[in-house]
Structure 1
């Protein structure tokens, strides 16, 4: 199963926000991009699935805040809002709905790898458990409800930045797979959540021995679930 450089993966998912205007993807589309029900995804010629994040306020209503319900005139959490899949895993309802659109689009032809950012990273974590392919997630929210690791988390790596508020959302949920936390050196609150910022951080951390150059780290050598790197 082919590896990919983290820097290349970051560039590809960044480009997925601007299909038709980005040279690196223009001639690499394996099929028409998905753009349905406010869900976007791109499959390129080497079997890589790219899932961009939120690009419209509707994404927040449908997906990012999809776990919340109106009750007594205000938002409240409800256990009934969790979406359970066939494996028994409990997922954030909005993120699961987003992932399902992508799953149904590809049908019975899964990708060879998945790369996602933000909302797309939440979907990527869910789909990695379905398809069991190497998955890279940038600026990842937390889609899984439950403290116990899932069986196939070894396929997935999340790259996050300290201080990015999105990576702690929702608070009672958890990431799927390994989490590598990049130190940005910034003080105080600063969102710095977009892919161009994460690409710069990867360059700054290029010499960090705890940050692999490729994912997976080696053929047949996927990291264990829940592993972390500073």
Structure 2
């Protein structure tokens, strides 16, 4: 099976944010704040929050009424699992776009990483998610079918990777590798360039997969 280099994936995310990859894009969407790009190489890139509306439409998505998500609206998916409502809504839009394209790989960052976890599991496609929030509410032992396609790279000092909080029962889909910088900056270092810099260090490369899926 073909593999995607992790540092190359970081570059693709950054190019999507910087809008320097126009020549590489075959199809793309921008629907209600949901952006996704299908590249000529067969890679689906899902960038994260880049508009203020994203925080209210997807990241926060707090119900006006009390919910059993303790401020995070939680809804059931087709599998019967309970999901962060905003992340699931974002992923459903991306899934509709991606399912006919059948991407070879999926890459996501931040809000895009939440979406990538769900879409990658649904399509059974190798998926790399950076700065991943926790999307699913359920026990870690109750794994969904096909979530093994997904790998998450999370910095210990990245607040986004810790929400919604674990003590409320939320978790990521797939495997997760925690990256520890030399100096902790709580609430900082969320951008993809900070992730790439840490992934270039030997101490990280010695303990995390630098290509996905593993052979």
Common fold by TM > 0.5: yes
Contact 1:137 1:157 (C-alpha < 8 Å) held by counterparts? yes
Q: Is the 8 A contact 1:124 1:135 kept in 2?
A: yes
Q: In the alignment, what sits opposite 2:75?
A: 83
Q: Distance in 2 between matches of 1:130 and 1:99?
A: 10
TM-score, structure 1 normalization: 0.85
User: How many Å separate the matches in 2 of 1:107 and 1:217?
Assistant: 24
1:178 aligns with 2:178: no
> SS of the residue aligned with 2:128?
strand
Aligned to 2:37: 42
Q: 1:193 is matched with which residue?
A: 190
Question: Are 1:116 and 2:116 an aligned pair?
Answer: no
> Which residue of structure 2 lines up, in the alignment, with residue 60 of structure 1?
55
1:63 CA drift (Å): 0.2
Other-structure match for 1:4: 4
Q: Secondary structure at the match of 2:25?
A: coil
RMSD, matched Cα: 1.8
Residues 1-230 of structure 1: pairs in structure 2 closer than 5 A: 1-19=1-19, 22=20, 25-31=21-27, 33-66=28-61, 68-71=62-65, 76-78=66-68, 81-147=73-139, 148-171=142-165, 172=168, 173-205=170-202, 208-218=205-215
Cα deviation for residue 133 of structure 1 reads 0.5
Change (3 A) 1:63 1:152: same
CA contact (8 A) 1:5 1:214 kept: yes
How far is 1:85 from its partner? 2.2
Please give the TM-score of this superposition, normalised by the length of structure 2.
0.90
Q: How many residues align?
A: 208
Identify unmatched segments of 5+ residues in structure 1: 219-230
Displacement of 1:102: 1.0
Contact 2:198/2:204, CA 8 A, preserved across alignment: no
Gaps of 5+ in 2: none
For 2:194 and 2:30, the matched residues in 1 are separated by: 25
| 84-93 vs 198-207, which moves further | 198-207
